[in-house]
Amino acid sequence: MNRSLLVFAGVLTCASVLPAENPMIAENKQNFTNIKNNILAAAEKMPGDAYGFRATAEERTWAELMGHIADAQTGICSSATGEAKRGGAAKLTDKAALVAALKESSAVCDAVWDSTNDENAHNMVKRMNRDWTRLGLLIYNTTHDNESYGTMAVYLRLKGVVPPSSEKK
């Protein structure tokens, strides 16, 4: 009996000293997941024949906006690991290809978020001639995604489509 209590006490002690997930990382990862899901749902909701739609002459087409988001996510998130990659979605115009590019770029970001922890969150990386922390760069990507989604919502409404974030659930 004493041996069982000793083992149990040891397990409790080990469990209490194991690091919990950093709430700052977890909250910001969830923020990315939320906007990622809205962007992907919006890309799916926009009809394929509207991918050439341009809100004004000065704005990107919907397809150009989707390509920009995919390439930005790939570039920003991969830079957070110190291995900047370039996306190739900017040249795409087809809905299926752009949705696939958004999914691929989101997977790049998911992998970086999943590998971000207390040990590497504050590692310094270079992006656009600037020093960033890994976590700061990932948060910047989420900010960029939110700004882009705001533009997407206007495009969707102009085409008579309810943005995913406005749907009744």
pLDDT digits (tens, 9 = 90+) for 1-35: 555 544 444 444 444 455 568 999 999 999 999 99
Alpha-carbon dihedral angle through residues 91, 97, 102, 103, given to the nearest 10 degrees? -150
d(CA 84, CA 72): 11
b vs e for 40-70, b when ≥16 Cβ sit within 10 Å of the residue's Cβ? eebbebbeeebbebebeeeeebbbbbbbbbb
Q: What sign results for the dihedral spanned by CA atoms 143, 87, 149, 111?
A: negative
pLDDT at position 138: 98
Tell me, which fold does domain 23-166 have in CATH?
Answer: Four Helix Bundle (Hemerythrin (Met), subunit A) (1.20.120)
The structural domains of the chain, with segments of one domain joined by +, span: 23-166
Confirm whether pTM is higher than 0.95: no
Lowest mean pLDDT among 1-15, 106-120, 131-145, 148-162: 1-15
